[in-house]
């Protein structure tokens, strides 16, 4: 008789789903190999309790087994799959989950399936089986039916047309973490971090904040929980977006016409469409979008999954993948070895960042420089909010000073990002999009982007009226010889000889007469926003891009609150508690 396993509980939300159509490939009804027990559930967003035993939790919607069974694991094989299928043209956005469940006491086995469309009530089946071998057989047959692949050969999984794709998940060493967490519950340990640093670490490592911001980006964490999506799955997402990007570029060429008559336009269109006919390109784009949404699950509710057909839509999805990469890094930091009962979790996370974070005292000269830089470079077109500095920190990322490449023209520039990204940024530094990512989604190619206008970077923290806090970094950037561009160029990363960076020239800039130079020679372009001498530029404000991360040093971190002028009554309830804790802890 297997020993009863110790369990821990965390809170999650149920995933919405839908009864599959009769035309779906394979039979979505339970197999007749085992007896079937109905356990239909409503997938509306209600809080449920997840009981973790072993590497994978029992699906919380399996209410008959959630607290009395565990997901079968034998010889490092976890009998659990999550499948996904999105089809834009047919408005399909569905999933299929399967688990072999073994009772904690007695060892009886059953197979659990849940399937449906996001936004609708899930269909489920719980099948008690005569033996463990019988349960595994039912499980493997369903996997074969839904994917066209054999379970035993899933390491070489191939996506079949019209069938489900397998979402790769990294389950990690959950049992070891549970043991450490159990010990922590028995012994309350105080943090030794400065209060301001403690609050920062708690904010950027808050999984609920990550989940909230990912939901805002339409990511479906119920099908691919944060921290479980593998790097390979994210890479597949980038590859799908590369195909999307290629199709968008070719379609733009196709739609560009020349000549004054229809015959000339058709001839120009045929000449431009090197990737095939316009219809073929649209079909390729559709399939690439299906592949992307299948690999990177989204929750659009009952809405049709949108076609990614513009550079703006492409950039939105690239931002999602960047956020998922940083969250994957964040989870790896949180789960790093070194969990001990004599350290507060925030202290462990801080230690694992390998980044020295020191609060800048109130009234310090550098705090005034930073506050002036925020106030003076707030762009006049960003007039729906004001920025208030809550806390400033001095940063020293391990290894950055030694690796720094100084080509001259060192400036202190802004970089804004979502709260979800900062654990990853502080943990591994600022990174350039991977080789698999398309260039089209980046105005000046794949690089690290900065601004000398505080509110321009602040917009990339994506605040809302209910979450008015943002985080930005001030980085020392060695721009060297600058290649100035007035128009977008997605291949700008191919720098001319002798150039070290790109400036996307804006029609406005900080007044150079008030720039200051720090004691170490770094220039702070701090000044009121004035018109530049370049009136033909497409950008309103400057952007600076480097293509080698060794030209970057993280120097300061700034926590800001957005005073939303048009939504102040709504936002003040969220702002005041944060200001209070920041000042009093």
Do 541 and 456 contact (CB within 8 A), yes or no?
Answer: yes
> How far is the C-alpha of 122 from the C-alpha of 114, rounded, in Å?
7
Answer for the pair 108, 114: CB distance below 8 angstroms, yes or no.
no
Distant-in-sequence, close-in-space partners of 286: CB < 8 Å, separation ≥ 6: 88, 89, 307
Q: Which residues make beta-bridge pairs with 81?
A: 98
Quick one: CA torsion of 132, 96, 148, 241, rounded to 10 degrees?
Answer: -140
Phi, psi values for residue 325, rounded to 5°: -60, -45
Give phi and psi for 264, each to the nearest 5. Answer: -65, -40
Q: Is 491 left (phi over 0), alpha (psi -120 to 50) or beta?
A: alpha
CB 476 within 8 A of CB 412: yes
Listed in order, strand segments (DSSP E) in 154-193 are: 165-166
295's tokens: 């690999």
Give the length of the chain. Answer: 585
CA dihedral 474, 475, 479, 480 (to 10 degrees): 130
Q: Which residues contact 171 (CB under 8 A, 6 or more apart)?
A: 55, 56, 78, 228
- DSSP-based three-state secondary structure for 343: coil
Nearest to 52 by CA among 205, 295, 297, 228: 228
Dihedral sign computed on CA atoms, order 566, 572, 578, 579: positive
The sign of the CA dihedral 474, 475, 481, 486 is: negative
CA-wise closest residue to 237 among 94, 98, 84, 117: 84
Burial of 399 (0-12, 13-18, 19+ CB in 10 A): exposed
Indicate if 543 belongs to the active site: yes
**Which H helix or E strand runs over 210?**
helix 207-216
Give the three-class secondary structure for 545: strand
User: Which 3-state string (H, E, C) describes 266-298?
Assistant: HHHHHHHCCCCCHHHHHHHHHHHHHHHHHHCCE
Task: Tell me how far the alpha carbon of residue 92 is from its chain's centroid.
Answer: 23
How big, in percent rounded to 5, are the helix, strand and coil portions of the chain?
35, 25, 40
Q: Give strand pairing partners of 417.
A: 471
Q: Taking a C-beta distance cutoff of 8 angstroms, is the pair 72, 101 a contact?
A: yes
What residues are annotated to the active site? 543
């Amino acid at each position: 008789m297997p020993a009863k396993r110790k369990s821990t509980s965390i809170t999650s939300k149920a995933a919405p789903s839908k009864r599959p159509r009769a035309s779906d490939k394979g039979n979505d009804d339970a197999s007749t190999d085992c007896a079937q027990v109905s356990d239909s559930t409503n997938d509306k967003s209600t809080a449920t309790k997840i009981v973790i035993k072993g590497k994978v939790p029992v699906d919380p919607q399996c209410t008959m087994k959630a607290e009395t069974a565990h997901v079968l694991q034998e010889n490092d094989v976890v009998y659990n799959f999550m499948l996904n299928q999105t089809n834009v043209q047919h408005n399909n956005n569905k999933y299929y989950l399967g688990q072999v469940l073994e009772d904690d006491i007695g060892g009886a086995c059953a197979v659990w399936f849940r399937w449906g469309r996001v936004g609708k009530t899930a269909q489920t089946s719980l099948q008690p089986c005569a033996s463990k071998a019988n349960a595994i057989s039912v499980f493997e047959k369903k996997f074969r039916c839904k994917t066209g692949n054999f379970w035993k050969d899933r390491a070489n999984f191939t996506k079949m047309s019209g069938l489900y794709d397998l979402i790769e998940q990294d389950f990690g060493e959950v049992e070891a973490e549970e043991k450490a967490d159990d010990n922590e519950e028995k012994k309350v340990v105080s943090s030794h971090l400065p209060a301001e640093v403690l609050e920062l670490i708690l904010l950027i490592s808050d999984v609920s904040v990550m989940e909230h911001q990912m939901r805002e980006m339409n990511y479906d964490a119920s099908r691919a929980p944060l921290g479980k999506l593998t790097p390979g799955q994210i890479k597949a997402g980038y590859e799908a977006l590369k195909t999307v990007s290629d199709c968008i570029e070719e379609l733009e060429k196709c739609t560009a016409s020349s000549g004054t008559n229809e015959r000339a336009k058709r001839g120009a269109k045929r000449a431009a469409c090197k990737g095939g006919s316009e219809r073929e390109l649209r079909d390729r784009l559709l399939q690439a979008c299906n592949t992307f949404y299948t690999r990177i699950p989204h929750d659009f509710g009952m809405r049709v999954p949108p076609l990614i057909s513009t550079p703006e839509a492409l950039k939105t999805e690239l931002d999602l993948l960047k956020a998922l990469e940083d969250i994957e890094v964040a989870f790896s930091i949180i789960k790093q070895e070194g969990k001990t009962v004599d350290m507060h979790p925030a202290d462990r996370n801080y230690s694992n960042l390998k980044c020295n974070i020191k609060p800048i005292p109130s009234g310090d000269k550098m705090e005034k420089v930073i506050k002036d830089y925020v106030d003076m470079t707030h762009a006049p077109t960003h007039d729906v909010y004001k920025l208030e500095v809550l806390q400033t920190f001095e940063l020293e990322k391990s290894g950055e000073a030694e690796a720094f490449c100084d080509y001259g023209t060192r400036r202190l520039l802004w970089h804004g990002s979502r709260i979800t990204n900062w654990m990853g940024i502080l943990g591994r530094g600022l990174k350039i999009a991977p080789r698999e990512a398309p260039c089209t989604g980046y105005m000046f190619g794949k690089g690290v982007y900065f601004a000398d206008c505080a509110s321009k970077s602040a917009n990339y923290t994506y605040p809302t009226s209910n979450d008015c806090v943002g985080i930005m970094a001030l980085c020392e950037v060695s721009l060297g010889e600058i290649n100035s561009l007035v128009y977008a160029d997605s291949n700008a990363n191919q720098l001319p000889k002798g150039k070290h960076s790109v400036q996307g020239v804006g029609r406005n800039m900080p007044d150079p007469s008030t720039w200051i130079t720090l004691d170490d020679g770094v220039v702070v372009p701090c000044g009121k926003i004035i018109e530049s001498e370049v009136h033909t530029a497409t950008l309103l404000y400057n952007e600076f891009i480097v293509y080698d991360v060794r030209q970057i040093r993280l120097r300061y971190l700034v926590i800001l609150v957005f005073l939303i002028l048009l939504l102040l009554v709504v936002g003040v309830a969220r702002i005041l508690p944060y200001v209070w804790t920041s000042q009093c802890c």
